[in-house]
Amino acid sequence: MKRVGFLTSGGDCQSLNATMRGVAKTLYQAYSDIEIYGILEGYKGLIYGNYRKLKPRDFSGILTEGGTIIGTSRQPFKQMRTPDENGLDKVKAMLSNYKEWKLDCLVILGGNGTHKTANLLREEGCNVVTLPKTIDNDIWGTDITFGFQSAVDIATNAIDCIHTTAASHGRVFIVEVMGHKVGWLTLHAGIAGGADIILLPEIPYDIKSVVKALDKRTAEGKRFSILAVAEGAISKEDAALSKKELKAKRKANPYPSISYQVGQEIQERTGQEVRITVPGHTQRGGAPCAYDRVISSRLGSAAARLIIEGKYGYMVGFKDGEIVPVPLEDVAGKLKMVDPASSIIREAKGLGICFGD
Q: Please list, in sequence order, all residues whose beta carbon lies within 8 angstroms of the beta carbon of residue 221, skipping any fewer than 6 positions away.
A: none
Q: How far apart are CA 218 and CA 255, in angstroms?
A: 27
pLDDT tens digits for 321-335? 999 999 999 999 999
Residues of the chain falling short of pLDDT 50 = none
How many Cβ atoms from other residues are within 10 Å of residue 93's Cβ? Answer: 17
Q: Tell me the whole-structure pTM to 2 decimals.
A: 0.94
The question of whether 136 is a catalytic residue gets the answer yes
Give the pLDDT score at 295: 96
Catalytic residue among 33, 84, 104, 136: 136
- In the chain, CATH 3.40.50.450 covers 2-147+288-331
Give the pLDDT score at 314: 98
At the top level of CATH, the class of 150-284 is: alpha beta
* Level-2 CATH architecture, domain 2-147+288-331: 3-Layer(aba) Sandwich (3.40)
Q: Please list, in sequence order, all residues whose beta carbon lies within 8 angstroms of the beta carbon of residue 333, skipping any fewer than 6 positions away.
A: 112, 116, 119
The one-letter code for the residue type at 213 is A
Give the pLDDT score at 200: 98
Count Cβ atoms within 10 A of the Cβ of residue 241 and give its class: 0-12 exposed, 13-18 middle, 19 or more buried: middle
Give the pLDDT score at 304: 98
Q: How far apart are CA 321 and CA 206, in angstroms?
A: 37
Within 13 A of 135's CA, how many CA atoms are on the CB side?
Answer: 30
pLDDT tens digits for 45-55? 999 999 999 99
Give the pLDDT score at 253: 83
For residue 76, the Cα-to-chain-centroid distance in whole angstroms is 15
Q: How far apart are CA 185 and CA 187, in angstroms?
A: 5
- In the chain, CATH 3.40.50.460 covers 150-284
Q: How far apart are CA 303 and CA 25, in angstroms?
A: 11
The one-letter code for the residue type at 76 is P
Count Cβ atoms within 10 A of the Cβ of residue 150 and give its class: 0-12 exposed, 13-18 middle, 19 or more buried: buried
